[in-house]
Amino acid sequence: FLTPTKPLAKQHFESVKNILGLDETNVTLVTGEMKPEKRIKEYEKSIVITTPQTIRNDFEENSLNAHFALCIVDEAHRSVGDYAYVYVANKMKEQNALIVGLTASPGGKAERIKEVLDNLHIQNIEIRTSLDEDVKPYVQQSFIKWIPVMLSPTLKLIKLTLDEMISKYAHALGALGFPPPLRNKGMFMKLREHILNIPHGIKYPALVNYSVLLNLLHMSELIETQGMHALRRYTEKVKEKTSKSGKLLLKEPNFAKVLELLNSDEEHPKLKVLIDLIKSLQNKKIIVFAQYRDQVKLIEQELIKQGITAKQFVGKKDSYTRKMQEETIAAFRNNEFNVMVCSSVGEEGIDVPSVDTVIFYEPIPSEIRSIQRRGRAARLKEGEIYILMTKGTRDEYFYWSAFNKEKKMKAIIASLQNRLRKERPGLSKHTTQDPQPITNLQGQTKIGHFV
């Protein structure tokens, strides 16, 4: 049983023991922290739960001789590129093991989904929704509500000032033969590769203009979706840059104007809306998702100032360790505080079944991450999902981008499912007749229905 992270592996280890009624003579958790000789012995047990990195290392060291009959890949959408799932799946294929990939968010592009299927040697797709009879007993309703927020006059002025600079450098880049796709972040990031491949001397001025524009676009996103604090922190980093693009930006009169406006103590109206919303929810257990680490810290601090018990949950970095992550999750589960403010690390794999409410501080354009965020609510009881959306900004664009990608994803999966069944006519179609759910499972359906 493979999971992408150690904390998730630990959670699955406990779940498998509890649900199947097994003890540690039959099921084991294998991590890289174990001594190699101990890991080799543990692999002989009936059920092994580990991360793909750990088992890949043991395969590469030729120290793993165990034979596996079934390999379950959790968060299977990660099985792209050179991620360790791909290597392990090939090893399992060599052993003729059955591979089952599980994901709630396979992705919105046919090429990516096809890559996942190929990398895991998948020959059949099973789709389950909340409407399927064998899923209904374990799925609770979630209610989604958008909360529109208006930019304040000061934030609007900062945005307009940034827009003027964006227009200037976009025009300059276009004049050099590289018109930038400002509305498409993915395409804009690819533009740099195109510029780098140009052999003649125009490459250098194009790269300088591109770098300035990249900084400005990020600053514009911060002021639209996050606020003064996030932009202030970013401009401090810009001022420390010694590159040509950094120096060029510092000479801009409009950049000086932005810095002056940032001296205000004003924050994004979202922050007050968020605080008022949490107060109205009256001690419900809440997860707040925010895109940026600095913003997570600010939200935590502001909630605490208002007498709300809150803690941040972010990725391992600097002084925030894995032990602190585990302690935060445990304290949240034990109701020691009500609001957990998460960065993207909390979107995938954390197990907090009693959450009542999920709040998006901002929409995100990724359909995978949007699904993962929503999935934190409505596990064992009805849940609420609130999305704070600044009107007339990237927030609206990002929301509809994820919405349309998710819609497209479902159509792609259904199409691939039909194609695979035509290629393998012996496969029986999924039926929901006479489902016999196992009532003691916490939000799970029978694995036998999928294999």
Question: With respect to CATH, is domain 138-150+268-397 assigned 3.40.50.300?
Answer: yes
Are 6-122 and 138-150+268-397 the same fold in CATH?
yes
Query: Residue type at 55?
Result: I
pLDDT single digits (tens) 335-357: 899 999 988 776 666 666 568 89
Intervals of the chain under pLDDT 50 = 428, 430-451
Give 21-38 pLDDT, tens digit per residue.
988 889 999 998 889 889
In contact, 447 and 100? CB cutoff 8 Å? yes
Spatial contact of 3 and 351, defined as CB atoms under 8 Å apart: no
Retrieve residue 135's tokens: 């899923």
For residue 401 the two structure tokens come to 């981008």
Q: For residue 340, what are the β-bridge partners? A: 287, 311
CATH topology of domain 6-122: Rossmann fold (3.40.50)
- Class of CATH domain 153-261: mainly alpha
Element (H, E) at 342: strand 339-342
Per-residue burial over 328-358, b if 16 or more Cβ lie within 10 Å, else e, is bbeebeeeebbbbbbbbbbbbbbbbeebbbb
Q: Is 387 helix (H, G, I), strand (E, B) or coil?
A: strand
Residues 6+ apart with CB under 8 A from 250: 238, 239
This prediction's pTM: 0.78
Rounded Cα gap, residues 203 and 191, in angstroms? 12
Residue 87 exposed, middle or buried by CB count within 10 Å (0-12, 13-18, 19+) = middle
Residue of 95, 92, 99, 43 whose CA lies nearest to 66:
43
pLDDT at residue number 109: 82
Query: Domain residue spans in the chain?
Result: 6-122, 138-150+268-397, 153-261
Whole-number Å distance between alpha carbons of 394 and 64: 49
